[in-house]
A and B are shown apart, each in its own frame.
Chain A
Amino acid sequence: MTRKKDELDTPQLNRRHVLECMVWAGTGVVWAVNGGVPHSVGLIGDALAAEPKGFTFLQMSDSHIGFDKAANPDALGTLREAVAKVKAMAIKPSFIIHTGDITHLSKPAEFDNADKVFGETGVQIHYVPGEHDIIDEDRGKAYLERYGKGSKGAGWHSFDDHGIHFIGLVNVVDLKGGGLGNLGPEQLAWMEADLKGRSSSTPIVVFAHIPLQVIYREWGWGTDDGTQALTLLKRFGSVTILNGHIHQLAQKVEGNMTFHTALSTAFPQPAPGTAPSPGPMLVPADKLRSLLGLATINVVQGNKPLAIIDNTLAG
């Protein structure tokens, strides 16, 4: 992981390292921030031993409550296991970011069950919808009624916590035939206005369901106008992009941007191009929990780059 270092940037170096990698722990990635400047507690392995101080948050994704097919007949059960891991954490995360596909079919009972189990964490949850969350009759109304308070459009929103600016984007609505995920001009204009006037040294975390960068076009794993969003983020010293949708870990560091996708708590999906389709991957029952998980992200003072540690439900 190399980064360009110029004199102007040197005072910001610590901030620039912010969120560069993430700490996966158990079923999530924990982030921590001290004194407004996020750093990692350590690299893989260290994080579990070290008690994170300061600010931590968690990423959970693709719960697919209501899914009951062979790949995992009990998606609610595996979510309960993930939530039990959250409850058992020595230091509670400040909040959880959910990167979409809370439910499988946007049914009221599915949302109810998800809310009930997530509620047991006792932690605030910031959601963005996945394509499975907006397939009710009114195409997204059910989602917005539950989670859309204070959001714009189809549910996009931003907030600040511990000096980090968080932006939740929606790239699953108004999709075009033959295309990929879509943000749309209205959301991009909102995002531009949202970032305007913010100092370039503000660490940014963007979260959305479908990966913003194209991971595998043939399976639709990317966002058509994602590069426009990334262009808006270019001037910032530290940008972390958290996505779901592909039910597997993928990580890439490009300049000051770190891209990261999370595991699902419901079922795994195949690696790009390794199967006839991106549908649920059937694995032996004793292996399933090693492919499900959540991400814990720690950002604390230190001089190591942040690390992402993935702990699965089996771990």
Chain B
Amino acid sequence: MGHQMQMLIQHLRSWIDRMPISRAVVLAILTGPIVGAMLLALASARAQDANAVITIDNFTFAPPELNVTVGTTVKWVNHDDIPHTVVEKNTTFRSKALDTNDSYSFTFKTAGTFDYFCGLHPHMVGKVIVKP
């Protein structure tokens, strides 16, 4: 039973993943408030995943910890007057210096926990947790 439920959710999720958010909204209206809200939540979570953004303000990565799924591209945007870099602890990824409003993107192709920091101001740390 539990296994079947899991399969169903997985199936539903992959179906939603291929669906544009506009169609999810239409579907949500058609399916009624409870199921519709669930569908929308799933669809918007997926939209965030594919387009995750980490901002740098006041020498701080926000959010400090980000959960994404494999295949997600994460974009770091620097809003400070001072350049920063994004360096993974094991140098899985390393950005160039990001001046004000510069950004850096990395697509996570494997699951795992990725601890990163600013190579110029290493007290600035963050974490991306990538789930399968």
Contacts and interface: CB of A to CB of B under 8 A. Distances in A.
Contacts, number: 62
A220 B97 contact: no
A272 to B, nearest CB: 13
Nearest to B99: A105
Contacts of B60: 277
Contacts of A177: 87, 89, 115-117, 122, 125
Interface size range on B against A: 20 to 34
A137 to B, nearest CB: 7
A178 B122 CA distance: 5
Contacts of B121: 131, 220
A219 interface: yes
B49 interface: no
A43 interface: no
Contacts of A132: 83, 120
A80 B81 CA distance: 22
B96 interface: yes
Contacts of B96: 135, 137
A179 B60 CA distance: 15
B123 interface: yes
Contacts of A116: none
Interface of A: 69-71, 104-106, 131-132, 135, 137, 172, 175-180, 217-220, 276-280
7 contacts: A71-B81, A177-B125, A180-B123, A220-B121, A220-B123, A220-B124, A280-B81
